[in-house]
Amino acid sequence: MTGFAQPGAPGASPSRPTRVGLIVPSSNTTMETELPELFARQSAATGLRYTFHSGRAALKNVTREELLAMVGKAAECAAAVSDADVDVIAYACLVAVMAQGPGEHAESERLIAKAAVDNGHPAEVVSSAGALVRTLSGIGVGRVAMITPYVKPLTRMVADYIEGSGIEVLDATSLEVDDNLAVGCLDPCALPGIARNLELDGAEAIVLSACVQMPSLAAVQAVEDELGLPVVTAATATTYEVLRALGHTPAISGAGRLLAG
C-alpha cells in the first residue's frame, strides 16, 4: 500500500463523502457491485459515506497478452480517476499485476500514485494483488488453499506470486474460465461446495476468490462458518486495505471476520 495522504481524506466533511477510485478491466462486472455493497454495510454501521468513481482498461479474455496490455493503461486510468479528486485509488485487477512476477504490486502502486500526483490530485493507492498478499501476511497466515476461475497455467502463476510473498499454497482449484464476462456470471452459491473439496489439512485460511471478477461475497460468511477458517477474497482484501488507507475501522457484517472489525 502506498500513496500520498490527502488532508481530510480519512473523513470527508459531512457535505462530502469519501471518494473511492477504482481501476478495473473493461469487462469487469463484479468489483463495482461487491465493493459498493461492502461499503454500504460499512456506512450502515458507522454513518460514513462513500462514493465510487471508475476508470476502465481494455480486457476481454484473461490471457497473458491482454493482461500485460491492460497494465500499460494503468497510469492513464489513474490520472483520469484522480480527476474526481478521489481519496484513495484501488487498482482492481489482481492477475494483471501478478502476471508481471512476484512483488510487482509495489511498483504498480508506485506508478499509479505518481500518476495521480502528477495530475495534481494525490491519493492513497492500493492494488488487489498487494492487498491479498499483505492481508494474508498481516493476519498471520502462512498456508492457504484457494479457488480461482482461471485456466491452470494462470492459477499456477497466481500461486507462485502468493508463494513469492512467503505464503504457501497447499491446494488450488481452477475453474478453467478464460472469458472475463463469463467469469462475472459464475454462481457464488457454488463456492461452498467447491471449497469443501479443497485440501485443507494444514491450511490457515481459504482464498475463496483469487480474482476480482469472480463473484464470491454471497458465500464468504457461509464458507467461513462451515469450514472454520478465515475466508479472504480479492474483494474483501481490497476493501480492508482501502479502509486502512482511509484510517477507517472495518465494521462490515456478513463478509467474514477480516472485515467484522
The ranges assigned to domains in the chain are 2-130+236-259, 131-233
Helix (H) or strand (E) holding 239: helix 234-246
Cell of 20: 473511492
| Residues of the chain scoring pLDDT < 70 | 1-14, 59-72
Residue 184 and residue 175: Cα distance in Å, rounded?
12
| CATH architecture of the region 2-130+236-259 | 3-Layer(aba) Sandwich (3.40)
Q: What is the pLDDT of residues 68-101, one digit of tens each?
A: 666 667 888 899 999 999 999 999 888 888 888 8
Q: Which CATH number fits domain 131-233: 1.10.10.10, 3.40.50.12500, 3.30.420.40, 3.90.1200.10?
A: 3.40.50.12500
Q: Grid coordinates standing for 187? A: 454462481
For residue 173, give Cα distances in angstroms to 30, 147, 169: 20, 5, 11
Please report the pLDDT score of residue 10 as a whole number: 46
pTM of the model: 0.90
Same fold for the domain at 2-130+236-259 and the one at 131-233?
yes
| Rg of the Cα atoms in the chain | 17
CB 219 within 8 A of CB 208: yes
Residues serving a catalytic function are 93, 211
Residues found in the chain: 261
Number of H helices, E strands in the chain: 11, 9
- pLDDT for the residue 237: 98
